[in-house]
Amino acid sequence: MKKTWYNLLLILIFPIGLIAQGTTNIKTVNTDVDVWIKKSFAKKAIPPFSFVYNGKSSATFITKWGYSVTKKAPGEAGVLHYEFNYQEPGNGLLVTCDVKGFANFNAVEWVLRFKNNASAQSGIIEQVKATDLNFVYEKGQVPDVHYADGSYAAKEDFRPRLQQMTAGAELKMVPEEGRSSQKSFPFFNIAFTENTGVMVAIGWTGTWFASIQQKQAQQLSLATGMEHLRTYLNPGETIRTPSTAMLFWKGNNRFTGHNKFRRFILAHHTPKINGQIARYPISNSFNYGDPAPCNEYTCMTADYGVALIKRYKQFKLVSEVFWLDAGWYKHSGEAPQKNWANTVGNWSVDSTRFPGGLGEIADEVHKAGAKFMLWFEPERVMKNSDWASQHPEWMLNASDAHDAFLFDLGNTEARQWLCKTMGKLIEDNKVDYYRQDFNMQVDIFWKNNDKPDREGISEIRYIEGLYAYWDYLLKRFPEMIIDNCASGGRRIDLETTSRSAPLWRTDYNYGEPVGYQSHTYGLELYLPLHGTGTHKTDKFSFRSSLGTAIVYNWKITESSGNINEMQACQAEFKKVRPFFYEDYYPLTGTEQTTANNIWLAYQLHRPSDDSGYIVAFRREEATSETCIVKLQGLQPQKKYTLTNEDTGEIAKKTGAELSSGFTLVLKERRSSLLLRLGVE
């Protein structure tokens, strides 16, 4: 009875979800990540996660449950790996937190799992916060949360945002439609001071949430998890939750944290091929943009594809990859009634246009010294397609009004069939790189297929299945890369970056340079690996698409193109590309990035040899011919040269001078500047 009254009193004083959290003092955290892990997950300590079980907050009972810790063998050099187990008395619910520490980056990440070890159905698990943590900071500080918009096919995609965490402030982020970076973006930087903070990343390719609140003086709370989860578990059943990564940083300013995080992503959340970071490619399209009623590649034929490859070779324009997008499969070429979008689910090669399959095109690509990448969209299945009629038992429906099913990746039998079927299709057509698109709202399918008191189970099983499918492909084809597309970049999170990269980061107005500049400017703060397209060869347009990857969507069959300009663009891209793997600094602020009356400039810096580039744009309505920028990451006493790549002009300045202010000059509106930086 006393225990009941005690629990009731706790709930009255601290509403569920506000009861004691794990606590981190931001002043002392930047020391040893192993110490942080052992302290945060210590026996009898409130761990940095929480949940409600049978109506009670875990903070009221978790320290009384059975506890064990296992130090696991690290899978990577420099990585600590622990498993912390919390067992309900009587061998009921088991809560496991799989924790990794990265000493070189002062970073930690974990995944929370629940398993019902009992022989009967478990109680209800809800309000799960995979991260539930209080940061304590010094009096007088006002933390800033630097975050970004997600993708929604807008000029504002990945736009930098700022929320000052004054008294009572709250910031909640939730993506839309079940795609992890649609409208909201699962990466952000909490700067407690100008010099101290924590980078946070969430790994969940569904509907996650992040809530940051200033609940009381000198305390900032962080909670992350699944937005919709309230379920019991059957005997022996296990579920996982979103992964969370935190990287603690100290430095001159918040960009120390951003750049440390970019390097962390490259080191530990980027696919590896033969032990090396996968280099996402420079690609050629197949003369993108056929006349109506063709769309995408619905009018492509084997002969035309082979001829185009030979033409690229003739003009010395062959890149690393030839990229064939949507429209190569059965029925997609039956215009005008059919098109690339309303024929998915018919995953066999169109034998009329490609009588020998796609192998003939792949062979020609390989003869040219390149790789062959092919587009797929296996999750969206049209209701009148082959897959829908052959396997109705594997189709999830949202409503009769919907024209497509969702292929049930959460069904083990269905997923295994998908793995074998797509693997064979890839092998038979000699595909090197796999591009997966996803053009649908998915959360309504999950919701419609959840059973009573099982909210979130369909989503969990589906997301687990997606990861298992991609992991299968990467294991079966160890030199493959996965291009992650979802109507552009709407499925970017910590889990997908570990397996893929978005080579087409947005479906925003194809080739519009101001938007493309803005997308680069915001996304580079978090991720170095992503790409977009380029359609023109003028320097203002082309430089708007610089990065680690690109697809050249030039027309090489029309007189409007210029082969010499295309070759010059390719050469410039190859020179600048390596620096996008290094440190990145926005130079013109983050308050306004999309307006047509501003300059936009950024710096790429390689600390190992103190070299880099400045990329700058004067937009159409920018009235000033000059823009003063302050370079970062330089040694004050060193002398540097800045070479204008267009004119050859050279300026010489010390690091101190460049850091205090350097004037960029562009006489013409809608023009660009590329300056190479080096040590004298």
Report yes or no on 417 lying in a domain: yes
The pTM of the full predicted model, rounded to 2 decimals, is 0.96
User: Looking at residue 614, what is its pLDDT?
Assistant: 98
User: Looking at residue 45, what is its pLDDT?
Assistant: 96
Q: Summarize pLDDT for 473-487 with one digit per residue, the tens.
A: 999 999 999 999 999
Q: Kindly state the DSSP code that residue 255 receives in the 8-state scheme.
A: H
Residue 52 belongs to what H/E stretch? strand 50-53
Averaged pLDDT, 354-371: 98
Helix (H, G, I), strand (E, B) or coil at 325: coil
Give the chain's domain count.
3
User: Looking at residue 25, what is its pLDDT?
Assistant: 84
Report yes or no on 625 lying in a domain: yes
Does 577 share its domain with 589?
Answer: no
Report yes or no on 74 lying in a domain: yes
Helix (H, G, I), strand (E, B) or coil at 577: helix
Helix (H, G, I), strand (E, B) or coil at 508: coil
Tell whether the model's pLDDT for residue 27 goes beyond 80: no
User: Looking at residue 132, what is its pLDDT?
Assistant: 98
Q: Distance between CA 134 and CA 206 in Å, rounded?
A: 25
Q: Distance between CA 168 and CA 213 in Å, rounded?
A: 7
Report yes or no on 589 lying in a domain: yes
Q: Summarize pLDDT for 518-531 with one digit per residue, the tens.
A: 999 999 999 999 99
Region for residue 157 given its phi and psi (left: phi exceeds 0; alpha: psi -120 to 50; beta: otherwise): beta
Last residue of a domain, one of 530, 556, 581: 581
Give residue 21's identity as a one-letter amino acid code. Q
Helix (H, G, I), strand (E, B) or coil at 216: strand
Q: Summarize pLDDT for 50-79 with one digit per residue, the tens.
A: 999 999 999 999 999 999 999 999 888 889
Task: Assign 30 a pLDDT band (cuts: 50, 70, 90).
Answer: low
Does 577 share its domain with 646?
Answer: no
Mean pLDDT of the chain: 95
Report yes or no on 212 lying in a domain: yes
Does 437 share its domain with 524?
Answer: yes
Strands of 204-337 (E only): list them: 208-216, 219-226, 230-231, 238-240, 243-250, 272-273, 276-277, 282-285, 321-324
Total number of residues shown for the chain: 680
Averaged pLDDT, 545-566: 95
The alpha-helical segments, DSSP class H, found in 276-428 are 302-314, 359-367, 386-390, 412-428
Q: Summarize pLDDT for 603-635 with one digit per residue, the tens.
A: 999 999 999 999 999 999 999 999 999 999 999
Last residue of a domain, one of 564, 581, 598: 581
Report yes or no on 10 lying in a domain: no
Tell whether the model's pLDDT for residue 14 goes beyond 90: no
Does 145 share its domain with 181?
Answer: yes
Q: Summarize pLDDT for 104-127 with one digit per residue, the tens.
A: 999 999 999 999 999 999 999 999
Tell whether the model's pLDDT for residue 16 goes beyond 90: no
Report yes or no on 12 lying in a domain: no
Looking at residue 610, which CATH number applies to its domain?
2.60.40.1180
Last residue of a domain, one of 548, 581, 614: 581
Q: Distance between CA 397 and CA 388 in Å, rounded?
A: 11
Least confident range of 59-63, 555-559, 575-579: 555-559
Q: Summarize pLDDT for 276-319 with one digit per residue, the tens.
A: 999 999 999 999 888 899 999 999 999 999 999 999 999 999 99
* Domain coverage including residue 592: 584-679
Q: Summarize pLDDT for 199-244 with one digit per residue, the tens.
A: 999 999 999 999 999 988 899 999 999 999 999 999 999 999 999 9
Averaged pLDDT, 648-670: 98
Does 356 share its domain with 373?
Answer: yes
Q: What is the dihedral sign for C-alpha 576, 581, 584, 590?
A: positive
Cβ density class 460-484: b for 16+ within 10 Å, e for less:
bbbbbbbbbbbebbbeebeebbbbb
Looking at residue 73, which CATH number applies to its domain?
2.70.98.60
User: Looking at residue 215, what is its pLDDT?
Assistant: 84
Does 260 share its domain with 282?
Answer: no
Does 290 share its domain with 254?
Answer: no
Rg for the chain, CA atoms, rounded: 26
Does 563 share its domain with 652?
Answer: no
Does 614 share its domain with 652?
Answer: yes
Looking at residue 327, which CATH number applies to its domain?
3.20.20.70
Q: Angle at which helices 302-314 and 359-367 pack, to 10 degrees?
A: 10
Does 512 share its domain with 635?
Answer: no
Does 166 share its domain with 240?
Answer: yes
Report yes or no on 302 lying in a domain: yes
Does 428 share its domain with 576?
Answer: yes
- Which residue's structure tokens are 């083990």? 412
